[in-house]
Structure formats: structure tokens, C-alpha cells
Homo-oligomer: A and B are copies of this chain.
Amino acid sequence: VTTRATADGPDDGDNGRGTAKRADGLLTTGDMARITGNTLRTVRFYEEAGILRPDRRSAGGHRLFSQRELDRLQFITDLRTAGLSLDAIRSLLELKDNADTGSTAAGAALEAINEQIESLDHKLELFTRLRTELLQARELLTNCKDCTNDRCFPDACNECEVVADKKLPTSMRVLWSLDTE
């Protein structure tokens, strides 16, 4: 008997949005996972965590999700990529339910949204900075591709003409073990 491991990994395959498989329009756990680029485990975990809810179960116990839940999962996935914890995401998603009036709900939502926008701004700033630093590093290192100066290589790159006296971003200095400033 050959023991075959079930492939639970993420598919990363084509995100064909028009992949309407079932007649009733509902989505299986696998559909949810494939479309959003998550694993089955993750989808199940999110249900267990209470931030995702299958519309119903099939007679045999298979989870069946509505399109709404797919959108929800995609949103959750995006927020996770943005670095939010499941707790933070949960409170965002439960904001409306936990308020008594439209006004208070909107108030709480606005506060949370402003917070997230600010945090996104910080990350955008950091990421663009990192990106340009990496671009600079790439520029420089293309010259090193033809480096034959192997008696200077690991330890004396500081004195190399390719690198010397240039204003290098700190990340490049860290990456290439160059002297500080």
C-alpha cells in the first residue's frame, strides 16, 4: 500500500475569477483557497477563528461558501499581507455588528479606518525607500558581476573603485559588509 501525501500546499495557480464550478454557485474550501492563494488549512483555521463562516455544509460535511465569504476571505488575506493580526481584522469585521446605532458604528469605523490608513502610509513610505535602495544596490552589483579581483573580494571591497567614495544606502552597506559611513 503506497502512502500518498495529500497535497495541501498553496496552488498559486491561475486566479480564474470566472471559475464557476458548482451549479448552485457555492464554493468549496478548495475553491476559496485556490482563488485567494491560501491553503485549505488556512481557510479552515479562519473558520475556527470565527472570522469566516461557511454558508452551510453539504450532507457529507463539506464546507460550502457563498460569494460574500469569498470577498471576505480576499479582504482578510489582503489585510494579513498588510501585517494586521487576526484579532485586529476580527474587530474590523465586527465593527458594524457591535454598534447599536448607525452613527456610533460609523464613528468607530472611521477611527479604525484612519488608523489603518496611517499605518499603510508608513509602510508605503518604508517600502518605497527599501525599493529604491535595492535598485541602487542592483545598479552597483552589476559591476561586481565581472569582478575578478579575488584577492580583494571578501574583505577589501571597501577599497574597490566600484564602491569607493560613493554615497551608498545603509542597506547596501549592511548587505555587502562595508564600512559604516
Contacts and interface: CB of A to CB of B under 8 A. Distances in A.
A78 B126 contact: yes
Name the residue among A71, A117, A127, A180 with the largest chain B CB count within 10 angstroms: A127
B124 A154 contact: no
Contacts of A171: 75, 78
A57 interface: no
A74 B2 CA distance: 49
Interface stretch (A27-35, A42-50, A94-102): A94-102
Q: How large is the interface on A (under 10, 10 to 19, 20 to 34, 35 or more residues)?
A: 35 or more
B117 A127 contact: no
Looking at chain A's contact residues, is the secondary structure mostly helix, strand, loop, or mixed?
Answer: helix
A88 to B, nearest CB: 13
A45 B176 CA distance: 23
A103 B142 CA distance: 9
A83 to B, nearest CB: 7
Given A141-B113, A142-B110, A71 B180 contact: yes
Interface of A: 67-68, 71-72, 74-75, 78-79, 81-83, 92-93, 95-97, 101-103, 105-107, 109-110, 113-114, 116-117, 120-121, 123-124, 126-128, 130-131, 134-135, 137-138, 141-142, 144-150, 152-154, 157, 170-171, 173-177, 180
